[in-house]
Amino acid sequence: MGMGIRIIRRLFRPVPVVYVTRFNIAATLTKTPRKPLHLDPSWVDQRIALFERYCVPKMAAQTDDRFTWLILISAETDAAIVNRLARAPNAALVPIAPGTALGPAIAARVAQMGDALITARVDSDDQLSARYTRDLREIDWNGRRRFAVYFTKGLYLDAASGAYHTVRRPLNQFPAVFERREARDFLTVHAHRHNELYRLMDAVQIWTKRPMWCTVVHGGNVSNRLHGKPVPAPPENW
């Protein structure tokens, strides 16, 4: 009697990828009273229009949709806005009270996600390539326990004219942090300023032929300058 062949499938759980977006809170919150610009209805209306037009479609188009999207919001955000934000793909809204430090708040939220984690940063008015999640998971850890990754090639989009520029920025605003759990909590991508993560860990720059991110330039930016060289619009599924 011949022996049957047993096929044993090894279950593989990919490293969790968590995107972090600040919607209507400042990068650093303090207990010092400040003008509540991020609760002003006109500002919030403009911001969510940008979010839904630019950021959400590219997240919904990710070729690897196994990610969690933490959207940080003021605890005082209007319910109607909260409901619209909750419709974003894989969204988990995180209310942040005044005086709360972002790094520890994010670390507490992801603490139970496993022994390894990838956290990545995307602003509410910017875009990521549809392959961003997939490409993050293909990066070789090379035995490292913690490091930051920057895809250097990106785009600038002038929202008014629709013109695109291409640029390479070594330490851009779209980093990802790869971590294996140690005795302390995960640091996450908000452990330091986006262009200074090298102060806490190795920083790896990855050059690609295709753009991996897009900064949308509009009237509400901190900086309204286009950078790089003019290029034709990328394919819709870039």
pLDDT at 222: 54
Q: pLDDT tier at 10 (50, 70, 90 boundaries)? A: very low
pLDDT at 101: 86
Other CB atoms within a 10 A radius of the CB of residue 39 amount to 15
Calpha distance 35→131 (Å, rounded): 38
Q: pLDDT tier at 185 (50, 70, 90 boundaries)? A: confident
153-158: strand order across its sheet: 127-128, 213-217, 153-158, 164-168, 229-231
Q: Is the pLDDT of residue 143 over 60?
A: yes
Q: Is the pLDDT of residue 4 over 60?
A: no
Say what the pTM is: 0.89
Per-residue model confidence as pLDDT tens digits over 209-223:
999 999 999 876 555
Give the mean model confidence (pLDDT) for residues 161-179: 96
pLDDT at 11: 43
pLDDT at 220: 61
